[in-house]
Chain A
Amino acid sequence: MNAPLSRRSLLQQAAGLGVSVSFLGGSAFAAADGAMAKRKMVVVICRGGMDGLSVSPPVGDPDYAVLRGAVAVTPDQALKLDGTFGLHPALESVHALALKGQARIAPAIASPDRARSHFEAQDVLETGAAEVYGVGTGWLNRTLEAMGPSNVEALSVGATAPLILRGKVQAASWSPGQGVDETARLPTLLQDLYKADPIMGRAFARGLETEAMAQQAMTGLNPAPTPVSTETTMMAATPMWRNAVNAQGMTPSAMAPKAQAVAGQRQGREAARKLGSTLAGFMVQAGGPRIAAISLDGWDTHAGQVGQLNTRLSYLDAVLDGLNTGLGAAWSDTVVVVATEFGRTARVNGTGGTDHGTGSTALVLGGGLKKGGIIGDWPTLKQEALFENRDLRPTLDMRGLFKGVLAEHMGVDRAALETKVFPDSAEARPVSGLV
């Protein structure tokens, strides 16, 4: 059964693919001067431990192919960046931007956490704390606090609220679905009942407001519905070929039906691109959010890594492409940072995958980036250079990259960065010269 999908249902698919988006609003920056007031920032969190050595494979490092064996990206496959690094072949749009100087890599970066636990490392990445349980609020939320919040808006697209934007500022959230008329009787009566509840009242009010904004964000887009199958089944939103090699007794080739995977991937890319352009649609509205966060799940590639990463990086590339296209002229005022909680082991494991590691790659994109090589130093993959003889050694603290973008690009006060947004981060010097 084939029928054109509406924009909403495409976005619903994107949500089912483990993508969610969060915003923080514009009015906090009203006091900033003219040029700064247009600046935008997007943080993309890749959850599960994204393998930096596949995102920006160091194909010119002599130890890379040896350590990675069958899961290495070959020099032929890699989209060339310089003598050492390439990009994964699925990152076509990112590569096109890199050639224009609008995308750079930080190939050996990590948060201060070293426990190799997803949950602890994501907490550290999102709270901006020096260690786990240090802080209970997200650093994007505290960024707004630092700038003197007044009528600040926060929104997450996705059904649940991510830690990075939890805090004093009420985060709104939105995901595709049937809307609610905020002027109807029932919402009004409910708001009365929620007055005494500590959290339901403000969450509900935010939800009603955001519905209106969403309508505008979506109508601002070019309607370009792509014909894809509307047949949905309960589990369909998780790509079936993901982890396919986990299934017992079967060879990988037998379980990765290429035609199906390719069709599904194209559909997934389209949904992911829509998500990126809808996010852009929110951001280009007058008074729209200037800070946003996107979550992408599914990076924990313990087995069958090559196929999984191809799919996930293809989605990531499409989200970024949608953002870039949707922002239009505003792309030159925008910086996007793609980060993950940790990288993966330098060596391939026994199951065609990699285990929890340390250093990984962050991508930095934007129309206003200064040209330059890699961000941070490359420690190499020599055995003596590996962290605990196991992982890529990080040479750059993730907080330094975030602080650099917030200071140089968004104009956040440097003292506030050190005390409020990233407390106890003095050793993580802000990266300079990005914009």
Chain B
Amino acid sequence: MINQRGRCKERRGVSLPSKDMMAAIAATRFGLGARPGEIDAARNDPRGFLTDQIRPEGADQPRGGEGSAQRLAEVSAYQMEKRDAKAAQREMGSDAKSPPVKDLQKELRQQAGDDFLARARLGASTDAAFRERWTLFWANHFTVSSTSLATTSVVGPFEKEAIRPNVFGRFEDLLVASSTHPAMLLYLDQAQSTGPNSKASANQRKNARKTGGLNENLAREILELHTVGLEAGYGQADVTEFARAMTGFSVGRPRDPSPHQYLFRDNAHEPGARTVMGNAYSQSGQAQALAVMRDLAASPHTARHVSTKLAAHFVSDTPPPALVARLEKAYLDSGGRLDEMARVLIAAPEAWDPAPAKFKTPYEFAVSTWRAVGTEPQAIGKLAPVLTGLGQKPFSPPSPKGWADEAQTWCAPDALIKRLRFSESFAATAADRLDPNTLAQSALGARLTPPVAKAVARAETRREAMALLLMSPEFQRR
């Protein structure tokens, strides 16, 4: 714990920069990069510009796209059609894929591509870019990745249904929304997890069918990644007990009462009381795991874990301890209210240090280039290969931990070469109608340094000027 004196000293020690600088920081560090006119709009009251973006109804929603239940119904229809086609093939002895099946699969993938494009367009165009960055942070905290056709189809809907409505509410609600969403239940193998002593297992044994059993994947990642973190010191027994409590959290099959939606299967639930991290849970049914989640959300370890990640994302790869401590306090005092944490972050002097500490991820970099020139991406076919090449394949974080957040990962030699290639080709399509010096001013404001301004002014062509601006340390960082 940080003592009160130390904290005051540090607070006094950090002075705020000019309003011009704060306006630039509001748009570039808290937001997703300045659109033309955005820094001007923030200048009068940079902090108010950000707090005005906090709202109880949560994040903005990208346009279009079906809900997760419909998507999963389509996946299920596709799989049935494929099975039929396969049976037909066996009869006819043909090796070729029949055309309707192929079209359906393509369509399902196209839908996922459309989801991603809609999200990127929202990021490129929104006037409330802090709200969107805040949302992306939580979507990454509760990662779902495209590991199967089913998860590919519902990553977009997951963000819209579980994450976006809850980003300024209570952490516990966000945790429960994530942990009961079909996308998460499928991604981390929870949907089929069955209590060894449940009715479902007994029936399977009676009918001499293969018996199901426990799958601890989601329970482990909730503990380690979503809530208390490894520092909390839980053991394997806690993971197993929590996994037992979670048995029954599943997804409706086509003939269930709620097809393709969250379904609690009471007959798959492991009967009996559980003990997780020293707390006893005697509840029955889904109330048991929900009670565990409530305690996890209220844990000081969760407060610290989440606060550290937030400070690292918004301020520095090595987050200032005093800021982490204030965020923790806000979390615990407010019962895990995320809007309160956002306010503490905006108020924090540490977050307004003019030195651009954070290195943009590929997605942040791409979004900020569109924002700089005031356009939006038009085609997923162009966007996806660029992001994949830069190491951030759309909707495909490499593990449940989500995308990395620190410069060490993204500022790799090859990645810089690829960013340069992207900047050159972007400039080739966008630069000719723009004045580079005006662009540099509107994109970076007071963060534009003399060496970069000079390099842009002295460039041989508009394209070269724009590529230099996009590749400058000031633009690559935030």
Chain A residues packing against B (C-beta within 8 Å) = 12, 16, 18, 47-48, 70, 115-120, 132, 155-161, 166, 170-175, 177-180, 185-187, 189-190, 192-194, 196-197, 199-200, 203-208, 210-211, 233-238, 240, 242-244, 246-250, 254-255, 257, 259-260, 297, 300, 302-303, 349-351, 353, 355-356, 388, 390
Contacts and interface: CB of A to CB of B under 8 A. Distances in A.
Contact of A174 (B109, B112, B236, B413): B413
Interface string B399-419: 101001001111111111110
11 contacts: A18-B398, A116-B220, A116-B239, A159-B390, A159-B418, A160-B409, A161-B408, A177-B417, A187-B420, A199-B411, A350-B215
B351 interface: no
B148 A194 contact: no
Contact of B148 (A155, A200, A207, A242): A242
B25 interface: no
B214 A193 contact: no
B82 interface: yes
Given A161-B409, A246-B151, A238 B421 contact: no
Nearest to B394: A234
Given A177-B389, A247-B186, A349-B215, A159 B220 contact: no
B391 A349 contact: no
A351 B464 CA distance: 55
Contacts of B216: 349, 355-356
A161 B382 CA distance: 25
B288 interface: no
Interface string B237-281: 001000000000001111000001000000000000000000000
B148 A240 contact: yes
A116 to B, nearest CB: 6
A186 B468 CA distance: 7
A159 B391 contact: yes
A246 B468 contact: no
A237 B216 CA distance: 27
B215 A351 contact: yes
A235 B409 contact: no
Contacts of B370: none
Q: Could you tell me the dominant secondary structure of chain B's interface residues?
A: helix
A159 B389 CA distance: 7
A233 B113 contact: yes
A155 B75 CA distance: 41
Nearest to A196: B473
B206 interface: no
Contacts of A117: 220, 224, 230
Residue from A247, A254, A388 having most chain B Cβ neighbours under 10 A:
A247
B132 interface: no
B389 A175 contact: yes
Contact of B194 (A160, A166, A233, A350): A350
A199 B356 CA distance: 13
B180 interface: no
A117 B75 CA distance: 31
A234 B391 contact: no
A186 B423 CA distance: 11
Interface string B79-97: 1101100100000000101
B414 A194 contact: no
Given A247-B79, A350-B192, A160 B149 contact: no
Residue from A12, A115, A179 having most chain B Cβ neighbours under 10 A:
A115
A127 B16 CA distance: 39
Nearest to B362: A159
Interface residues of B, number: 95
Contacts of A356: 216, 220
A178 to B, nearest CB: 6
Given A203-B416, A234-B112, A116 B236 contact: yes
Residue from B75, B113, B236 having most chain A Cβ neighbours under 10 A:
B236
B212 interface: yes
A310 to B, nearest CB: 16
A259 B455 contact: no
A110 to B, nearest CB: 15
A113 B157 CA distance: 37
Nearest to B458: A189
B189 A353 contact: yes
B146 A156 contact: no
A339 B420 CA distance: 35
Contact of A246 (B80, B148, B211): B148
Contact of A160 (B150, B188, B254, B410): B410
A422 to B, nearest CB: 22
A190 to B, nearest CB: 5
B414 A158 contact: yes
Contact of A349 (B72, B213, B224, B471): B213
B52 interface: no
Contacts of A70: 210
B393 interface: yes
Nearest to B224: A117
Contact of B399 (A116, A118, A242): A118
A70 B460 CA distance: 67
A116 B234 CA distance: 11
B418 A177 contact: yes
B70 interface: no
B439 to A, nearest CB: 16
A190 B239 CA distance: 50
Contacts of B420: 180, 186-187, 190
Given A177-B421, A204-B413, A210-B413, A250 B79 contact: yes
Given A159-B391, A247-B79, A257-B86, A302 B414 contact: no
A351 B396 contact: no
Given A185-B460, A246-B189, A203 B413 contact: yes
Given A190-B420, A246-B187, 18 more contacts: A47-B399, A119-B224, A158-B414, A159-B391, A159-B392, A166-B408, A173-B414, A186-B424, A189-B468, A204-B416, A207-B412, A235-B395, A237-B388, A259-B95, A259-B97, A302-B188, A350-B215, A355-B215
